[in-house]
Structure 1
Amino acid sequence: MQRRLDGRVALVTGGGVRLGRALAEGLGREGASVAVHYHASREGADAAVAAIRASGARAEVFQADLSRADSVRPLVEDVERALGPVSILVNSAARFDRVPFLETPDEILDANWALNARAPYLLSREVARGMVARGGGDIINIVDVGGAFAPWRNYSAYGMTKAALAALTKSLALELAPAIRVNGVAPGTVLPPEDLGSDYLEVLRERIPQKRFGSPMDIVETVLFFLTGPTFITGQILPVDGGRTLETGPAA
């Protein structure tokens, strides 16, 4: 039985942990040949590759420090040499540093910028050249409601760089059309950090209209919607947040 992504090659950054791993495995279940990128999480990347192969699709692991600009071209070259031309890029790798604004050191700001904003820019440029030459492709950026819609307190560096990624999504949708569609998914509270504490997490949960946190599969299914659903969609950023961005507090 043919699967929805049979014949396509997907590069998923940050594919060894958390949401990135769920995305890599989800695309593999739909038949894509998946390049699972990782920086330090080799064990998780290997596990993702094993799961994808068990589902009947091809997969390989690729290591790169995407905070280094000179790592981007070799990564794409290695992926295409091993699996074939990339037709799907999922920019998922990110830092998520919780630091009050007045205490944020330059190093944290620079690290967030390098991975959350510059790396997707450079990777998109690298793969888009081939996509345009071949006549098509998809770029999916994993943004965040905290960058695209409503800021998170104590995440100024993260939110600023995710806002830049949201702007990049729209810019590329204009510049790369009609060959390439570029869309974004903005998760709300999905896989929240465990170190926030149960009381704080309960406060977060109560602020979500659906009164629950999202699951990785909510994001996977949204990415698959952009990849396999209506083709007349580009430049859109879809919040997947249980209605959190609708919450404005009590009426005055």
Structure 2
Amino acid sequence: MQTELAGKVALVTGGSRGIGKAIALALAEAGADVALNYQNNDRMAEEVCGEIRNRGRRALAVKGDVAVAAEVTRMVEEVRQGLGPIGILVNNAGIGHIASIDTISEQEWDATLAVNLKGAFLVTQAVLPDLRRARWGRIINISSVAAQMGGVVGPHYAASKAGIIGLTHYYAAYLAKEGITVNAIAPGPIATDMSAALPQLKPESLPVGRFGTPEEIAAVALLLAGNGFLTGQTVNVNGGRYLG
């Protein structure tokens, strides 16, 4: 896999912490240069870049809101100028504010769909020219077990993550002949800031008896990045929470 990914340029959205950070570091270990998109925390993004450089790879932190087309265009161009054409895209950026059926507002719905689903669409569209020119590419979309069984965050989150699976299927079907694979990962509860904000999630409720780790999701992302025959799939990494 190091041979396959060596020298490739990866863009990981939401890459300054949690699952995104773990994937960025795993890709760097496999030989890729990595650009991290983030929205707020400059210090955390630069710390991750430092860890990537310590692994002997180039790194770049690019600030921007994935839900805003103009910012996505600027962000992707910064990556091209700083590291070169993008070959691997990980659409990981997402938000998940808790709201029930009775409390969800139109604003919360729109904001969640904008970041979680529209953001993946915008960044993919911006990166596609690089992948098509190379006739090689890997797109990895981060969905959620909530897409399959509703979850506990709210209808807005479940719908956005289900949309990611549909988007994955569409791109996979139309891009396979161009050497571009597109897959999704649907994590269950992972030990991140989001899970910590959901007290109703209990490790003992999972068949494996614990939350997953960001590194366990990163291992699957690395598998998808290195496999040119695997496309259009949703890989469930959920500790047995959903047996699909």
Q: TM-score, normalised by structure 2?
A: 0.94
Bigger Cα Rg = 1
The 8 Å contact of residues 96 and 153 in structure 2, kept in 1 or not, is answered as: no
Does residue 220 of structure 1 match 2:222? no
Task: Deviation per CA, 1:127-165: give whole Å up to 9, x if none.
Answer: 112211221101000110111x21113421011011111
Q: Is the 8 A contact 2:23 2:222 kept in 1?
A: no
| C-alpha distance in 1 between matches for 2:70 and 2:60 | 21
Contact kept in structure 2, 1:209 and 1:244, CA below 8 Å? yes
Name whichever of 81-90 and 17-26 sits farther off.
17-26
The answer as to 2:237 corresponding to 1:240 is yes
- Aligned residue for 1:46, secondary structure, equals helix
> By how many angstroms is 1:31 displaced?
1.4
| Amino acid across the alignment from 2:196 | E
Which position in structure 1 is the counterpart of 2:41? Answer: 41
Q: What's the secondary structure of 2:139's corresponding residue?
A: strand
SS of equivalent to 2:168: helix
Counterpart for residue 23 of structure 2: 23
Q: Please name the residue that 1:178 is paired with.
A: 177
- Equivalent residues in 2 for 1:181-200 (5 A)? 181-191=181-191, 192-197=194-199, 200=200
Cα distance in 1 for partners of 2:22, 2:88 equals 16
1:34-73 equivalences in 2 (<5 Å): 34-73=34-73
Identity score, percent: 35
Q: Structure 2: which amino acid aligns with 1:220?
A: A
CA RMSD of aligned residues (A): 1.5
CA distance in 2, matches of 1:128, 1:174: 14
Cα deviation per residue 1:67-96 (whole Å; 9 max; x = unaligned)?
Answer: 212211111111001100000000000001
1:177 aligned counterpart, secondary structure = helix
SS in 2 for 1:178: helix
For the 8 Å contact 1:17–1:41, the answer to whether it is kept is: no
SS in 2 for 1:103: coil
Alignment of 1:156-171 (within 5 A): 156-171=155-170
* Residues 14 and 36 in structure 2, CA contact (< 8 A), matched pair in contact too: yes
Deviations 1:7-57 (Å, cap 9, x if unpaired)? 100000001121111111221121110001110021111110000000111
- Relative contact order, CA 8 A, sep 6+: which one is greater? 2
Q: Which runs of 5+ in 2 are unaligned?
A: none
What's 1:250 paired with?
none
Q: For residue 93 of structure 1, what is the aligned residue in structure 2? A: 93
* Separation in 1, partners of 2:76, 2:65: 13
Q: Deviations over 1:90-144 (max 9, x none)?
A: 0000001111122111111111111000011111111112211221101000110
Q: Which runs of 5+ in 1 are unaligned?
A: 248-252
Q: Which amino acid aligns with 2:61?
A: V
Secondary structure of the equivalent of 1:234?
coil
1:196-235 Cα distance to aligned partner (Å, 9 max, x none): 33xx34xx32221111110111100000111124x21100
Tell me the secondary structure at the aligned position of residue 169 of structure 1.
Answer: helix
Q: 1:111 corresponds to which residue?
A: 111
